[in-house]
Amino acid sequence: MFCFLFCILVFCGGVKGFVSSFNEEPESVDVIIGSETILKCAISNYSGLIQWTRDGFALGGTLAAWPRYQIIGDQSNGEYHLKITDIELSDDAMFECQATEIAKRSKSAKVTVLIPPGPAIIDGDGVRVILTDEKFNFTCHSEGGKPAAEITWSRDGERVDGGMNYQELLSDGRRFRTVSVFTMFADMSLSGSMFTCVSHNPALPQGTRVSVRLSVLYPPIITLSVDPPKCGEGETVLFSCNGDGNPSIQKYAWYKGGVNLRHEGNVFTTVVNFTFFTEAVTCEAENIVGVRNVSALVEVQFGPKLLHNPKPRISDPGTDVSLTCDWIGNPSPLYSWRKHNSNVVLSNEKYLHLRSVTSNDEGRYISRAIVPGFGVSETEIQLFVNGPPKISSDIIQYGILGSESEIKCSSQSLPSTLQIVWRWKDREMVEGLTDRYRIETEKSETCFTSVLFISNTRQEDFEFPFNCTAINRFGQTNTLISLMEQETSEVGIIIGISLAIFGVVSLALCLTAIWVFRKRKRARQAITLRKRKFQRESVSNDSETTSATGNKVLKAMYSAFKEDFKTEHRSDTLDTRDEIDMKDTANDYFNVGGGEERGERPVFVVACARGGDEMRMDSSGYRGRLCEVSAFNAVAQSDANPPRNRLPQFDVSGVAPYTVIRNYSGHSYQYLRPTWDFCVSQSPAFDSPVSLLSPHTHDRP
């Protein structure tokens, strides 16, 4: 008994001195599927069975049913490590190391199996076509990742935000499907960009990627250039239309002021006028996406133009009125306003403001526009001021006793006359009141005419005046019209006198026209003034009478020439600064006192005449017995620089009876000269006219 108790004490003391414990315990670990891992387990002072459990299920001491599992380590030192190879998804579990005989277990270790995500896939083809300004999205998805994959986006290699990610658990309850939607608005700057979807998780940090190219379709984007940008009317301008689109521009069209110019191509050339300053030229480009256009005005420089003829203005008295005319010019016109038949400038603005107008303001106003260096124009605008009617009928009219007479009363007014009332002997005359009176009216916009017909005119009708009263909404005006008796015979006399006056006036007009025509015909004698050097040679004067006569003829012709030159060369514009100074021009043509200084020959004007009936030269006051006068340029026939006291010798033998002479202004005139009695010459280089032919020794030059 004693021995048994001793043995028990010895055994218990020994056990207490050699207690078993885990020196190493497994740690949780993340492993990628298909790889391997080792879970550590080491126990001391234990020689019994060691086994591993997975999710609480004992794997057995030999692991015979688990070919991928293996116990490794120095078991003599208590090492029972679990090695797992070719890790599968089923290995994703909780593992424990257990000493079954002493009922001890290690702490649990979680083996997390990581699965790389499947390939990233973007719905659609490798090129995505979208219209500009439309909202679009890319959808990218990746399946089978564990943990769920994260999807990111990049554009041309630069990461961009905006993708929305969604995860879905697959049927195995362990893997995930990740979907990402990237949304944005398309614009042409995105066209050609490469968008990339990247799917990654811890099992595949670098991830999988897929890309798609974006093609943004947009209508043409164009610019319009004008060359030259500034020009004058009549110059050629080149319009160039440049741009691009996706797809490329297919067609061009050109318009001006909305009118199709029937031209294709991106370049358009034309000659411009002032309308190109007011009506834009438009280039229109088209592709399958749409049509776009761009417009430009040409800075054409031109004188003032009136876009619309001004319409008359009608105003009530006491109101303010603004008059304007649609002038346009480039550079901008300068303006002035004046009233017709007045030189007083009322305004230098585009608008003429009249305050509290009265009947005195009624009339025509002149609007004048000036573009310095390009011209002057003016136009009229009529202002009417409303007021009472104005009666314009004769206060004495005639009728025949016993016959039907008529009295006419005409009224002009704005607003128009509403009615005309007739009174006679202080009573109003109403049509139908008696059989003797009948009233007829005729209306227009501004004129109202009432005719009072009196049948079987009596003596009393001549004794009392008729009162004509015109009425409108601004008041009334009246006048007394007397009917005077007219004998029947006087009617014929009046008609005869009227016809006679008409005949006399017609004859006077005809005679005046003939006189003006003949005067202008004489005034337009062809005097061709050429500035040439010529020699001066002496020619003797045949007689003082001939010389004096020639001098007067030349003076008459020069005076007529001067007046004609002034008339024909007056500026067509209204700017008096452009008017030619006749005195300077004539001196220039005749080269008075300047021929030798400028190295040019003085001009000699030769006049020839034949005796006949007396002719009056009104421009000089000369009267002489002349019937035909002509003039032409003569060129000296001798040495180039004759002395001043030697008169030039002229050759006039080639002047035919019928000669066409072209004058300075380019008009041609023909003069009849049957024979010549004498010819004389006048030049600023000599003091007096020179007789070239004797009146009696030559029939013609």
Integer angstrom CA distances of residue 677 from 349, 441, 609: 65, 73, 6
pLDDT category at 431 given cuts 50, 70, 90 is low
pLDDT 10s digits, 659-690: 333 333 333 333 333 444 444 444 444 344 44
In a domain, residue 569? The reply is no
pLDDT category at 568 given cuts 50, 70, 90 is very low
**Residue showing tokens 């001006």:** 256
122 and 91 within one domain: no
89 and 155 within one domain: no
Q: Is the pLDDT of residue 9 over 80?
A: no
143 and 84 within one domain: no
Average pLDDT score over the chain? 76
Q: How many domains does the chain have?
A: 4
480 and 444 within one domain: yes
Contact present, 85 and 70 (Cβ < 8 Å): yes
In a domain, residue 313? The reply is yes
pLDDT category at 338 given cuts 50, 70, 90 is very high
125 and 94 within one domain: no
135 and 169 within one domain: yes
330 and 404 within one domain: no
DSSP output for 135-203? EEEEEEEEEEEBS--EEEEEETTEEE--EEEEEEE-TTSS-EEEEEEEEEE--GGGTT-EEEEEEEETT
Residue 608 to residue 665: CA distance in whole angstroms: 22
pLDDT 10s digits, 445-483: 779 999 999 999 999 999 999 999 999 888 999 999 999
Q: Is the pLDDT of residue 548 over 60?
A: no
In a domain, residue 177? The reply is yes
pLDDT cut 90: percent of the chain above it: 50
Domain boundary pick from 454, 485, 516? 485
In a domain, residue 473? The reply is yes
Domain boundary pick from 57, 79, 114? 114
415 upstream amide cis, omega within 30 of 0: yes
pLDDT 10s digits, 233-283: 999 999 999 989 999 999 999 999 999 999 989 999 999 999 999 899 999
In a domain, residue 537? The reply is no
- pTM for the model stands at 0.48
pLDDT 10s digits, 56-74: 899 887 888 899 999 999 9
Q: Print the domain residue range for 353.
A: 303-385
262 and 150 within one domain: yes
Q: DSSP H helical segments within 569-614, as ranges? A: 582-590
pLDDT 10s digits, 187-202: 888 899 999 999 999 9
Domain boundary pick from 270, 297, 324? 297
- pLDDT value of residue 524: 52
Please give the average per-residue pLDDT across 423-431, as a whole number.
84
Torsion over CA of 450, 453, 458 and 464, rounded to 10 degrees? 0
- pLDDT value of residue 571: 37
Nearest of 277, 385, 368 to residue 325 by alpha carbon: 368
DSSP output for 362-421? -EEEEEEEEETTTEEEEEEEEEEE--S-EE-S-SEEEE-TTS-EEEEEEEE-SSPP-EEE
Integer angstrom CA distances of residue 692 from 29, 90, 546, 635: 141, 144, 10, 13
35 and 92 within one domain: yes
423 and 322 within one domain: no
pLDDT category at 124 given cuts 50, 70, 90 is confident
Pick 234 or 536 by higher pLDDT: 234
State the CATH number of the domain containing residue 35: 2.60.40.10
In a domain, residue 540? The reply is no
In a domain, residue 395? The reply is yes
pLDDT cut 70: percent of the chain above it: 69
pLDDT 10s digits, 125-184: 789 999 988 888 899 999 999 999 999 999 999 999 888 999 999 998 889 999 999 998
In a domain, residue 89? The reply is yes
Nearest of 252, 261, 154 to residue 197 by alpha carbon: 154
230 and 250 within one domain: yes
- pLDDT value of residue 351: 92
**Residue 694 DSSP class:** -
pLDDT category at 227 given cuts 50, 70, 90 is very high
102 and 39 within one domain: yes
